[in-house]
């Protein structure tokens, strides 16, 4: 794509040729009125300059590529301009004026004789807008459904995907577990990819005939402008509870981030006239949000005034049954998904289906066709008479939902193996300890992904909450013969903790292994090791039957 065409997607502060002092050629822009003049400006090289690729990692730059320098949590792309130029970048987008000595160093290392430096006010916004333009604004040509909320995003995404597939629609999903389309599945390192990667994925989906895309939209993605220039047809709100305060600082900032999906992204752009919001009004923030939006809103929940509501539902360990009332009529449903929180997730998915005017019969079939979701109250089959589950719950609210779902229907005792991630919100650690000790007969406090923190230090921050239930503080040896009194044990080795929890259980007991769910790794310091809670649980259960 021509650089002059690409730059029409943004509003540069300045466009200069590095080393232009030798030619006297540069362009300064003070206002957007000059935007159309960029492509026709009298610079000898810019109008004909081709951009073959865009990058935000300097080590990935290809010849004739553009490098956009963004600030990350661990590194700043502005410090790697020289590497991008060494690799053949012909254009670099910055938001900070590079020091003159560094510019001279970059020019000396550049493969190009006169690379272009484009300065903007915000490189993250520029990256999103440039990527959308470069890949042909794929979201404009597909139906895009966004899902945000603290918990339930992945479950709702799977449910909506199943509904869309049952309706005969070619569907893609971009979410926490992976991104997938056309019978292809790819690893996804984060819930919502960086804007460049996101636009590329959607363009690939479009080229494969995908017409509908379901996307989990994290609060980080909105604050970091990853979903900028994504145009949504439907946006779904699941709930709000404490999480990510290490990033957002406080709950109000976190809530403001979530609201952006509706107030900013859904309410503007080429689809704003037909955009629809789907809001869970059983959540207090949801009710607040539904009352404030300018676009049509489909409300879900238990209140009689909600457009989509569940009636007479029953939850068991093997699943949930009930009836749903919608503006198009009522229908019965049954699903292997267990717990009252999953009823809320089901209603959200039904609301999305209704927003897309999908027939109730296809919605019902889609809900019932989904048999399981990786790492979401995922049952581990065994012949020991125990009920063992693995769940991604890593927030206080999600953990309480999962344990409450089990407690309401468990035939005997409940044991929970859990920890808290390192380098994340520390305030939730004692809260999670209290929740598990209150709802369980035995709490096994262990490591999650400790990252750069000391696992023992994390556990010490969980234990004050665990001690509030005034249970017995067990040792590993105490539990070798099982346990009789309510209590807890600390075991930093997660593999050993899973073994302890399952071996301390007996027939009809329920064991929840919480925090990592679908993840197949554990992050210890700077090292990532293979680790899957489900595999570890199966090993222990196999030992018990051998």
pLDDT tens, the chain, 546 aa long? 999 999 999 999 988 877 654 333 444 444 433 333 333 333 445 657 899 999 999 999 999 999 999 998 778 999 999 999 999 999 999 999 888 888 888 888 888 878 999 999 999 999 999 999 999 999 999 999 999 998 899 999 999 999 999 999 999 999 999 999 999 999 887 778 999 999 999 999 999 999 999 999 988 888 899 999 999 999 999 998 756 556 556 878 887 878 889 989 998 889 999 999 999 999 989 999 999 999 999 999 998 899 999 988 888 777 899 999 999 989 999 999 988 889 999 999 999 999 999 999 999 999 999 988 999 999 999 999 999 999 999 999 889 989 998 998 888 999 999 999 999 999 999 999 999 999 999 999 999 999 999 999 999 999 999 999 999 999 999 998 899 999 999 999 999 999 999 999 999 999 999 999 999 999 999 999 999 999 999 999 999 997
DSSP state letter for 469: G
* Tokens, residue 408: 């309401």
* Beta-ladder partners of 172: 181, 213
- Beta-carbon neighbour count of residue 92 at 10 Å? 27
Contact of 410 with 442, CB cutoff 8 Å: no
Please report where in the chains the tokens 């009522």 appear, as a residue.
330
SS3 112: coil
Residue 100 belongs to what H/E stretch?
A: helix 100-109
276-306 burial, b at 16+ Cβ within 10 Å, e below that, comes to: bbbbbbbbebbbebbeebeeebbbbbeeeeb
Residue 355 belongs to what H/E stretch?
A: helix 340-355
Residue 94 belongs to what H/E stretch?
A: strand 91-94
The pLDDT value recorded for residue 242 is 59
The pLDDT value recorded for residue 23 is 36
CA distance 438 to 433: 9
Contact of 271 with 232, CB cutoff 8 Å: yes
The pLDDT value recorded for residue 105 is 86
The pLDDT value recorded for residue 170 is 98
Check residue 414 and give left, alpha or beta (phi > 0: left; psi -120 to 50: alpha).
beta
Which of these, 390, 395, 338, 401, lies nearest to 520 by C-alpha position? 390
CA distance 259 to 521: 32
3-state secondary structure 307-343: CEEEEEEEEECCEEEEEEEECCEEEEEEECCCCHHHH
Number of H helices, E strands in the chain: 17, 26
* Beta-ladder partners of 314: 321
The pLDDT value recorded for residue 527 is 95
CA distance 56 to 213: 24
Q: Considering the entire predicted model, what is its pTM?
A: 0.88
The pLDDT value recorded for residue 210 is 98
Both ends of the chain: CA-CA distance in Å? 63
24 burial class (0-12, 13-18, 19+ CB within 10 angstroms)? exposed
SS3 240: coil
Output phi, psi for 383, to 5 deg.
Answer: -110, 20
- Beta-carbon neighbour count of residue 132 at 10 Å? 24
* Tokens, residue 308: 């989509």
Please report where in the chains the tokens 């509003």 appear, as a residue.
11
């Amino acid at each position: 794509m021509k650089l002059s065409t690409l730059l029409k997607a943004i509003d540069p502060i300045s466009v200069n040729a590095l080393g232009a002092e030798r030619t006297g050629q540069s362009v300064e822009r003070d206002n957007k009125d000059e935007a159309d003049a960029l492509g026709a400006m009298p610079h000898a090289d810019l109008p004909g300059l081709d951009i073959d690729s865009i990058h935000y990692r300097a080590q990935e730059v290809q010849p004739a590529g553009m490098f956009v320098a963004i600030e990350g949590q661990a590194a700043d792309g502005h410090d790697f301009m020289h590497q991008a130029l060494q690799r053949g970048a012909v254009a670099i987008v910055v938001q900070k004026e590079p020091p003159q000595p560094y510019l001279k160093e970059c020019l000396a290392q550049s493969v190009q004789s006169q690379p272009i430096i484009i300065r903007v006010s915000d490189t993250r916004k520029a990256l999103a807008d440039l990527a959308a333009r470069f890949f042909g604004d794929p979201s404009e040509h597909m139906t895009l459904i966004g899902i945000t909320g603290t918990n339930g995003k992945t479950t709702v995404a799977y449910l909506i995907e199943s509904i869309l597939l049952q309706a005969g629609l070619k569907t893609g999903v971009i979410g926490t577990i992976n991104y997938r389309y056309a019978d292809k599945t790819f690893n996804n390192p984060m819930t919502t990819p960086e804007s460049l990667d996101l636009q590329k994925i959607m363009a690939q989906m479009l080229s494969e005939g995908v017409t509908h895309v379901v996307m989990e939209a994290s609060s980080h993605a909105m604050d970091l402008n990853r979903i900028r220039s994504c145009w949504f047809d439907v946006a779904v709100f699941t709930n709000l509870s404490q999480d990510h305060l290490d990033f957002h600082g406080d709950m109000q900032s976190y809530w403001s981030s979530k609201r952006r999906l509706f107030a900013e992204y859904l309410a503007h752009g080429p689809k704003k006239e037909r955009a629809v919001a789907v809001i869970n009004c059983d959540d207090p923030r949801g009710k607040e949000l539904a009352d404030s939006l300018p676009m049509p809103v489909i409300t879900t929940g238990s209140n009689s005034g909600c457009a989509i509501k569940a009636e007479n539902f029953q939850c068991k360990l093997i699943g949930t049954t009930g009836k749903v009332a919608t503006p198009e009529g009522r229908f019965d449903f049954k699903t292997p998904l267990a717990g009252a929180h999953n009823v809320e997730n089901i209603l959200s998915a039904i609301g999305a289906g209704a927003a897309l005017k999908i027939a109730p019969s296809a919605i019902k079939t889609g809900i019932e066709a989904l048999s399981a979701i990786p790492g979401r109250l995922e049952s581990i089959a065994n012949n020991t008479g125990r009920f063992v589950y693995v769940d991604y719950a890593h927030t206080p609210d999600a953990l309480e939902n999962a344990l409450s779902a089990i407690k309401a229907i468990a035939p005997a005792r409940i044991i929970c193996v859990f920890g808290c991630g390192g380098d994340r919100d520390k305030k939730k650690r004692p809260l999670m300890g209290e929740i598990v000790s209150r709802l369980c007969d035995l709490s096994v406090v262990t490591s999650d992904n400790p990252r750069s923190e000391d696992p023992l230090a994390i556990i010490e921050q969980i234990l004050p909450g665990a001690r509030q239930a005034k249970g017995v503080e067990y040792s590993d040896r105490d539990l070798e013969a099982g346990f009789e009194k309510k209590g807890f044990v600390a075991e930093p080795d997660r593999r050993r903790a899973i073994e302890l929890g399952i071996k301390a259980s007996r027939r009809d007991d329920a064991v929840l292994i919480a925090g990592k769910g679908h993840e197949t790794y554990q992050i210890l310091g700077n090292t990532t090791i293979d680790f899957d809670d489900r595999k570890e649980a199966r090993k222990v259960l196999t030992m018990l039957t051998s």
